Structure 1
């Protein structure tokens, strides 16, 4: 039986005592590999540690744009570089990007950090997993300026339009679909239209304490729902 990949989670954010059961539920629902993305240096270290003790877990190393408090200096850069280069289960530089909500960190901090982490990925020949919220024009421009197409990567939790998705694909990037695919018609049209080989799946799993019941939190096992919806849209069996 073919196994699914949950290409983007924040497994490290869950309480330690829950992780074994989360992984078990994932395995029971055909998930064979989980990537846990770092959001800070400490989070990245935690992801790497999880990858060392859980065979199906791989790690992403990076600093999320919403977690930036200052530009990435040499000390932080070297720490990220060491984490990513010394651990064979680091699959990508993740989660990095730009976020232009009104409450987001300053533009110059985000841009410097995004460029620096792209450069890190290029130096290590690892793909980048890109966060883009209200920022696709700037993200595209920066990826091109920094020659990110030489390493490629994924547009995480994609909710943009078809033209933008095709632009990323033409640069050698994949489009990551998550649970919004179950409900957003425009996104379903994107998924129908772009090549299957340019799509990856994810859950973006993380604790959701605002939900009344724990069983409603998104977990890696929910990636099967995304796979089933994509199969329906493409008129293909899930096994494809």
Structure 2
């Protein structure tokens, strides 16, 4: 792909996880060659935060979003809260994530997940940082909690969104952008393209979730950051934008939501 100006912004990529972490330099070089200029790396479990911060420190244009994923919600306690609160003051940290609800997990249960989510939303508000939200089959309850915890004060991104148009627009009203990734490119995709077409342009961002959820035609493979360009191309097709427009719009959106100064080159 021709180098884009402005570049693409991957708002959700696990560069600290294998296999990406094992071949980080060539992966980043390939991503940059494909037009990707910035990366937001979310956290999952407290035990991995140190590695997350070390990874981000080695990559120009990489930013961190430490947090406790629903699958690790049982680790949420006073000690974890204090450790996360300290991290939120680091210059590379621009969001809290990925946090949320996941009713498909066998454990921990909803009560434990909700406690971790609420605690992290409150920390985000205190630090005035946006949040990255993970949600599977719990959108109604998630929106209730976001309202109760006044999450509109910080906003953020709904990562790997798989809900309805109605729920997406409710999230937008709360200041949340919608993240589009590999599933948008699948030949049998139906809901994601309809949501994409219905959204105001200023609430659309791109993500790979690499090494997970590889786009077509790489479905089933380990995902790579460079394939954000395939997702961008599908967004451009569906919205009838050029690739340059797609890069400009989605990157500016990400920068606005993450409170980053606008940049126009890599």
Alignment TM-score, normalising by the size of structure 2:
0.84
Distance in 1 separating the partners of 2:102 and 2:221: 27
Q: What SS does the aligned partner of 1:90 have?
A: coil
**Is 1:142 paired with 2:145?**
yes
Deviation of 1:102 after TM superposition, in Å, equals 5.2
Map residues 21-36 of structure 1 onto 2, 5 A cutoff: 21-36=26-41
Q: How many residues align?
A: 233
Conservation of the 8 A alpha-carbon contact between 1:37 and 1:44: no
**Is 1:51 paired with 2:56?**
yes
Higher fraction of strand? 1
> CA separation of 1:63/1:104 partners in 2, compared to 1, >3 Å: closer, same or farther?
same
Map residues 44-193 of structure 1 onto 2, 5 A cutoff: 44-70=49-75, 72-85=76-89, 87-101=90-104, 103-183=106-186, 184-193=189-198
Write out per-residue CA displacement over residues 210-233 of structure 1, whole angstroms, 9 at most, x where no aligned residue: xxx9x9311111111111101111
When the two chains are superposed, the root-mean-square deviation of aligned CA atoms in Å is: 1.6
Q: What SS does the aligned partner of 1:94 have?
A: strand
Structure 2 unpaired stretches of 5+: 246-266
Q: Which has the higher contact order (CA 8 A, sep 6+)?
A: 2
Conservation of the 8 A alpha-carbon contact between 1:81 and 1:120: yes
**Is 1:17 paired with 2:40?**
no
Alignment TM-score, normalising by the size of structure 1:
0.93
**Is 1:220 paired with 2:236?**
no
Distance in 2 separating the partners of 1:17 and 1:187: 32
Q: What SS does the aligned partner of 1:34 have?
A: strand
Distance in 2 separating the partners of 1:40 and 1:64: 6
Q: What SS does the aligned partner of 1:32 have?
A: strand
Distance in 1 separating the partners of 2:212 and 2:174: 33
Conservation of the 8 A alpha-carbon contact between 1:13 and 1:207: no
Conservation of the 8 A alpha-carbon contact between 1:9 and 1:206: yes
Distance in 2 separating the partners of 1:195 and 1:53: 35
* Residue in 1 that maps onto 2:254: none
Structure 1 unpaired stretches of 5+: none
Of 99-108 and 116-125, more deviation after overlay is shown by: 99-108
> CA separation of 1:150/1:207 partners in 2, compared to 1, >3 Å: closer, same or farther?
closer
Distance in 1 separating the partners of 2:112 and 2:224: 31
Of 165-174 and 37-46, more deviation after overlay is shown by: 37-46
